Each structure stands twice: as C-alpha cells, then as structure tokens.
Chains A and B, each alone.
Chain A
C-alpha cells in the first residue's frame, strides 16, 4: 500500500479483555514506532523497532502492554487485561531510517468500557 495501514480503526473492549492492534508499515521502512494519544494531547512514545529488533520499550506503561515485529515488517501491539485508562488512539508510524520524518497511520481508537 501507499501508506501505513492500521487495523482495526475502532475497537471497543470490555474491561479485562485482551486486544491486538495491527500495523502494516510502508514497504521497506526499517523503523517502526508505536505512540499512544489521549484526547486533546500529543502522541506519547510507547516503543520502537529497527527491523525486527525492539530497541526501546521504555514508554510501555505496564507489563500488560507488549509489542512485536517478528519479521521486520508487520507489527502488533497487544494489551492484556484492558483497563479504562487504556482508552486512547494508538498510532503507528514508520520511517525509512533515522531522519525523524515519520509516516503515521490513521490510528486505532480503543475504547475500554
């Protein structure tokens, strides 16, 4: 595809459910980032991959959050035992290198009831 694709676009989960959010980056992009954006706030860093290696996961808020990119392309962000405070838009971005020019997807909006 031409851009970063994220699915699902919208997810409603009951508290305690597990969710998985998928990101399909631009083909050939080495770097992949996950950000969390609360309503009215800027994106907050979660984790960063270079190819299949997770080089920085310092932004993951708890051990309920887990991300993987096993083949250096598609990435999945998994949230276990969801809580209401997990409600946010989860943005994925990719980059061909280390330029800081990130290409964002449209995000996955998670609502935890």
Chain B
C-alpha cells in the first residue's frame, strides 16, 4: 500500500496563477483533509471531506477550493495564487471522522512545498 500520495512535491507559481494539488489514498478511508503548515503556526485545516460527496470548510479556507473526486481522491485548487499561500500543504485521510466514542488516527501524505512569488 502506498498510503497517502501527493503530487507535485514542489511547485513555484507566480502571483495570480492557478494550480491544483492532487491527493490520493489507497486505504479505503472515508474522510480526507487538507492542511497547510507554516513556521510557528503548526498545522491549520483548510478543508475536509467527511465522506465521498461532502466537503466542509476548515480554519483557513479563503483562497482555496476542493473537490472530492471519488472515495480515493481529494484535490485542492488555488484559483489565483498569492504570496500568502506560500506554504507546505499536507493531505491526510482517516477511516472516518470522530463520532460515537471512536476517533481514528489520521494518515498523512509527504507534502507539497509551494512557493508563490
């Protein structure tokens, strides 16, 4: 099993350009997440998808859109990149969201390092 995979690993964009970060998991997980990691800020949730067909905003959704293409894939799109979106982006998945006294651990991809100039 590859676990959670992300493409690309690195990307440099100019301000105003658009791009899509791809994420796929092969663990048959229901829930998927997108985070950004910035120095001194820890991980901040951008969007998540509790199950196929649903998406919800996290802590910092502005400037981003997501698509849960199917159970395996969850993409993050930057329509018009800004320097403030320079960050490392992580995708994660879990069997489900916490509910009913059960909380599953999240599995993370290797990250995409994005620079916007």
A binds B: no
Q: Which residues of A contact B (CB under 8 A)?
A: none
Q: Which residues of B contact A (CB under 8 A)?
A: none
